[in-house]
Amino acid sequence: MSGHLRELIVDLDAITANTQVLVSRSGSAGVMAVVKADAYGHGLVPSARAAIAGGAQWLGVALLDEALALRAGGIEDPVLAWLVGRGEPWAEALTRSIDLSVSDVWVLDDITAAARELGRVARVHLKVDSGLGRSGAPVGDWPALVDAARKAELDGIIVVVGVWSHLAYADAPGHPTIDRQLEVFQNAVDIAERAGLQPEVRHLANSAATLTRPDTHFDLTRPGLAVYGLSPLRDAPAASLGLLPAMSLQARLTLVKRVPAGHGVSYMHRYVTNRETTLGLVPLGYADGVPRNSTNVGPVQVGGRRRTIAGVVCMDQFVVDLGDDPLAIGDVVSLFGPGNSGEPTAQDWADATGTISYEIVTRMGPRIARRYLGGAES
């Protein structure tokens, strides 16, 4: 760890290696690495470059601003943005050759109006709601959306690059919803093709389906979590899938002090020492993304030993009971990492706090210094 009091370390070579695993598991399909939400907290542009180095041919983001940030960072590979609303900067998106998802005719109308004004051809991916119940055209509205897109394509205003959807239950590979969604999606593709559309890519598979359901791969897989080395499957550790977690979170003890037995710790004294002991202060709190509900359960490693947060997690800090171990100000506290040295993993934190590893890594705050290892950023 460097001299920072708190530090988030991202191993870009791990992202590259994880992407290579996903490329190999995708068979003949290409890979769209999902880098939304600041690449799941790992850093948008550096992580995107690392994924491309691993063989990803496309990048996927939620927000148009994220796609524009990739372009501003010098990345010119195909990028799809899928969470769009009224008043988006369509002209800038078209000028920067960003692919846009379309779930409704109004989106198509807004995009085609911007394309006409600019004299450019918009690249769109039509999305069908195959059963997740979020974005995507309902099955009953799909033929009308397809017909409108085909008309705009014949007018030379758009090109339908893709048809896509998203799975609800892929983390349980045998769940019956997967087969049902697969059938709905295939029917939607058939309707589009019968209408004269010839999409370049059909894509449905997320991380879990990329690893377990080759029948969902079509032309392009769309892994997100697995790119960063975290397992998308309920009963399969990352290592069993050939994945290496890329993010580590560390801090340094800023205070070490002896206290007597019966000493209350942090707000509401939800931890009370049962003997004379040493307390260590860690300068990370819920403002930095440490879950407040990790009070008395959050795992950390200090001095080569696993320990648990003692007392309530505060906005800027928490406490660890160090017992009688000879630890000092400046010693490193590992909250999570790959687990290779016995430190907790993001999945350990998720299990302890009743959430998912996605939330643990994406919630890390801007006060934490970032350091990149490997890739072009080191």
Closest CA relative to residue 206, chosen from 24, 5, 16, 26:
26
The C-alpha atoms of residue 14 and residue 302 are separated, in whole angstroms, by: 24
The C-alpha atoms of residue 267 and residue 353 are separated, in whole angstroms, by: 19
Decide if 312 contacts 268 (C-beta within 8 A). yes
What phi and psi, each to the nearest 5 degrees, are found at residue 99? -75, 145
Told to judge if 257 belongs to the known catalytic residues of this protein, a careful annotator would answer no
The C-alpha atoms of residue 358 and residue 345 are separated, in whole angstroms, by: 12
Catalytic residue among 127, 169, 267, 372: 267
The C-alpha atoms of residue 191 and residue 189 are separated, in whole angstroms, by: 5
**Which contacts qualify for 152-159: CB closer than 8 Å, 24 or more apart?**
152/108, 152/112, 153/196, 153/197, 154/196, 156/121, 157/112, 157/115, 157/116, 157/121, 157/122, 158/108, 158/111, 158/112, 158/115, 158/121, 158/122, 158/123, 158/124, 159/121, 159/122, 159/123, 159/124
Told to judge if 267 belongs to the known catalytic residues of this protein, a careful annotator would answer yes
The C-alpha atoms of residue 370 and residue 137 are separated, in whole angstroms, by: 39
Can you say how many angstroms the Cα of residue 284 is from the centroid of all Cα atoms in its chain? 22
Decide if 16 contacts 217 (C-beta within 8 A). no
User: CA 261, 267, 270: angle at the middle one, nearest 5?
Assistant: 55
Catalytic residue numbers, as ranges:
36, 267
